[in-house]
Chain A
Amino acid sequence: MTTAVPYTAEISRATPACFVFLVDQSASMEDPIGGPARQRKADVVADALNRLLTELSVKCAKEEGVRDYFHVAVIGYGHTSVGSAFTGPLAGRDLVPLSQVADRPARVEDRVKKFPDGAGGLVESRVKFPVWIDPVANGGTPMCRALAQADALVADWVARHPAGFPPIVLNLTDGESTDGDPLEAALALQRHVSADGAALLFNLHVSGSAAIPVTFPDSPAALPDTYARALFEMSSPLPQHMRFYALQQGIACTDLSRGFAYNADITTVVQFLDIGTRATDLR
């Protein structure tokens, strides 16, 4: 179905959508993230992705199982390889239907989570935490190869779903590409177009620097270095429904905002994934 307004196509089992996550697994992901928590960047990113896959599974769960509204790939890129970052039964797979993601985590950990006690304090409770992605930090940052792999997945997806919601690629990185300038690969990826719009590429920079964080900027002017400006140029404009949702979350953005966040802390990583994977219309 052709829609007049882009990024409004129905997402259903017959017309699913796809997410491709690119995860920087270079050595510097061993370093702590900015903000007071000082957790390793690799841990923050892996936890955020595991949490997102959990929330997607819960959101799409019906009594007969998880519905395949989405297919999901997680591509890791570091010194030794570019490829599937799934561990456990899904190891080596690229785009996986969500029902299989939900049924096949590598393991389910018991974790302690703090909940508001309703009186201004917090209480601890044990929760199940499924794990599909383990933190990895090793070697260089072959971002061009990672984007090329995403490009292949996106091209194939759009060819098979020409009327559907366009693929969304979320690149989570802390450093500069070590295998060339990623701009052309990033722009090429966004040239794959379904009847509902162009494939979307969002970039999230996780950093330990003291620079002021920037979320969904509408120009590169406030960005501190050429690398941040390059990632801005690589990023797609945020579709209207995501801008609307970001505003609801209290994040300022404009009609020209790009799907880019610089110097993200833990909260921003989670919010970025939440907004960047926000679906419009599940049927």
Chain B
Amino acid sequence: MFTTALRAPKLGSAEAECEDAHLVLPAEAPDTWRTEPVLVAVADGASESLLSGPWAALLTTGLLAHVAADPRALDAPEAFADALARAGLAWRPWLADYVARREAAGRPIAWYEQPGLDRGPHATALAARFAPDADGRTTWAAAALGDSCLFHTRGADLLHAFPLADAGAFDSSPGLVNALTTDTALLARHTRTASGAAEQGDQFFLCTDALAAWFLREAERGGAPWDLLAEHTRGGDPERFAAWLEAARAAGEVRNDDVTLVHVDLG
């Protein structure tokens, strides 16, 4: 399989301010055909919390480390919730280092930042594993908390939309993982899991919410948004993707938010 990723910050924000994160293991490499299992994680940092971008990045790293060590982390909400809580253990050391760096740079934490740091950052999380076998079939498993989505397509058909299957289901308060949460029962209640089998030629698209909502709306209208996205990922031109996104935002088709897309192409 080939894997490609594209991302873009919300209009008006710099690249460094993008609060989405993604990770592909082994490393995303559009021109490299993988025959070993591939792991993908996508996380969307909540714009109203502080340091949610770094938390989203830590979350993708921590989640995939757990999934790599034990693929069963994607099989049940309780197992994924445990992986989420374990990923959160990295937050306090990271924050202590961040606070020390700020102090060393002569920019200590300001009074208006402290309440946000005390509350902890929030992000959605989606992780998936794709394992090809010798017969050209690929089994996949995914787990998600929040509204980042995975889509499985074959030709002109959308076979699976996970965890949301309806464009109307997106709202402004999705489920979120707080870095300080250790309540695995709570995390498990908000986690969804899915799995299936795919054939050579199938496509998977993992998207954060703004792009996912657009994808479902287009699909509900009878369109095939996956063709357009695949054109962008296969073209490998982030600037062209950014230009399309800007036009789609201006037309009111895509909400102005950070966007991440990971394309898993089964050939």
Please give the residue numbers on chain A whose beta carbons come within 8 Å of chain B beta carbons, in ascending order: 1, 10, 12-14, 54, 57-59, 61-66, 102-103, 108, 128, 130, 282-283
Task: Check A61–B12 contact: CB distance below 8 A.
Answer: no
A-chain residues with CB within 8 Å of residue B257 when the two chains form the complex: 283
CB of A174 to closest CB in B, whole Å: 31
- Which residues in window 46-68 of B have CB below 8 A to A? 47-48, 50-51
Q: A1-B252, A63-B113, A103-B110 are in contact. List 15 more A-B contacts (CB 8 A).
A: A1-B250, A10-B256, A59-B48, A61-B110, A61-B112, A61-B116, A63-B51, A64-B17, A65-B110, A102-B112, A128-B111, A282-B47, A283-B10, A283-B11, A283-B256
Taking a contact as CB atoms closer than 8 A, the residue among A13, A14, A54, A61 that contacts B50 in the complex is A61
| Most chain B CB inside 10 Å of its own CB: which residue of A1, A12, A61 | A61
CB of B265 to closest CB in A, whole Å: 32
CA distance A102 to B252 in the complex (A): 33
Q: Tell yes or no: B115 within 8 A of A by CB.
A: yes
Task: Check B48–A282 contact: CB distance below 8 A.
Answer: yes
Secondary structure at chain B's binding surface: helix, strand, loop or mixed?
A: loop
CB of B105 to closest CB in A, whole Å: 12
Task: Check B50–A63 contact: CB distance below 8 A.
Answer: yes
Please give the residue numbers on chain B whose beta carbons come within 8 Å of chain A beta carbons, in ascending order: 10-12, 17, 47-48, 50-51, 110-113, 115-116, 250, 252, 256-257
B-chain residues with CB within 8 Å of residue A57 when the two chains form the complex: 112
Task: Check A58–B112 contact: CB distance below 8 A.
Answer: yes
Contacts A/B (CB < 8 Å), 9 sampled: A12-B12, A13-B12, A61-B110, A61-B116, A62-B50, A63-B50, A128-B111, A130-B111, A283-B47
| Most chain A CB inside 10 Å of its own CB: which residue of B12, B17, B50, B112 | B112
CA distance A54 to B116 in the complex (A): 12
Task: Check A102–B110 contact: CB distance below 8 A.
Answer: yes
CB of A70 to closest CB in B, whole Å: 13
CA distance A274 to B126 in the complex (A): 34
Taking a contact as CB atoms closer than 8 A, the residue among B12, B47, B48, B110 that contacts A14 in the complex is B12
CB of A257 to closest CB in B, whole Å: 22
CB of B55 to closest CB in A, whole Å: 11
A-chain residues with CB within 8 Å of residue B51 when the two chains form the complex: 63
